[in-house]
Structure 1
């Protein structure tokens, strides 16, 4: 089963630093990243997103997924793609596929201005080893499971947006 994992840091460069560390952990086969994005929340509240293509190639879900999820979390549904529906309806889409409101709320409350986060879609995580190696960076770990059927639904939801992006 895949997991949506957020590693939150109380600095603006923590997520980028750990992104580089994850490359080594993946080479050691301690986890398999399917998709990842680095998020930096500036002091003024603006959010910058960079998909971690160097870790995962083209990625499983792509920029439309990260743009919409991160936009909903930080109340900016226009981030990453043009969306013509209300934020409540959009977050409902994520609830329908296993990304619940509690997860979204926890991430929003944790990643404050001046902080950063690494969003990952991963599987085959050697939890003990990975989190032991990352402990020196003191991330706050927020995670939710994503069953295979939900992952397929997410891919279908974002297929059209990804082509347009």
Structure 2
């Protein structure tokens, strides 16, 4: 089962720094991230999501490959690529893997302009080591799907840094 954690940082850059640190920790096999999205609110109040993976582009690339293969089989590779890319892009755009966009936008509506909320879908993690690595970044917990005890440990770890800084 995956856990969702949403933490608010003072800037989008700080949220991106934490996301990059999570990817480094993933390479060290301390965490397995299913999705990591940064949400920000513009001065005009519009919510912007900075996705980890562009599903439309990924779908188009995949569709191009399959379209090329089908095109080669039917002796018209260019038509196959075009049709494959279009269908792949449509399929990719309709695919929502990871955290629900509407859910993130609803939560991000409460952000102050300029803040960055990092939404992370965690598949597995060595909690004590990951928290130790992320604590120096601070942040305020917006929402989690963790049980109350684990959520309080997370809040305490992030608040120690906020109080010290």
TM (norm. structure 2) is 0.55
Flag the structure with more relative contact order, 1 or 2, with Cα contacts below 8 A and sequence separation at least 6. 1
- 1:133 maps onto 2:136 in alignment: no
Unpaired runs of 5+ in structure 2?
60-94, 148-165
- Higher helix fraction: Structure 1 or Structure 2? 2
- For 1:128 and 1:23, locate their aligned partners in 2 and report how far apart those are by CA, in whole Å: 17
| Aligned equivalent of 1:9 | 9
Question: Partner of 2:116 in structure 1?
Answer: 116
Write out per-residue CA displacement over residues 61-114 of structure 1, whole angstroms, 9 at most, x where no aligned residue.
736953211232245xxxxxxxxxxxxxxxxxxxxxxxxxxxxxxxx3xx3222
What is the distance in 2 between the residues matched to 1:112 and 1:45? 9
Cα-Cα RMSD: 2.8
* 3-state SS of 1:124 partner: strand
Contact 1:9–1:139 at 8 Å: present in 2 too? Answer: yes
* Aligned CA distance change for structure 1 residues 115 and 28 (closer, same or farther; 3 Å): same
Distance 1:43 1:137, change over 3 A: farther
Specify the alignment match of 1:81 in structure 2.
none
Number of aligned residue pairs: 108
Does residue 35 of the first structure (1) align with residue 69 of the second (2)? no
Once superposed, which parts of structure 1, at least 4 consecutive aligned residues long, lie more than 6 Å away? none
In the alignment, the residues of structure 1 paired with residue 100 and residue 132 of structure 2 have an alpha-carbon distance, to the nearest angstrom, of: 27
Give the distance between the partners of 2:53 and 2:116, measured in 1 at CA.
18
- Which residue in 1 is equivalent to 2:150? none
Give how far 1:131 is off: 1.5
Q: 1:125 to 1:64 in 2, by over 3 A?
A: closer
Distance 1:74 1:140 in 2: 13
Relative to the length of structure 1, the TM-score reads 0.55
Match of 1:95 in 2: none
Q: Please name the residue that 1:25 is paired with.
A: 25
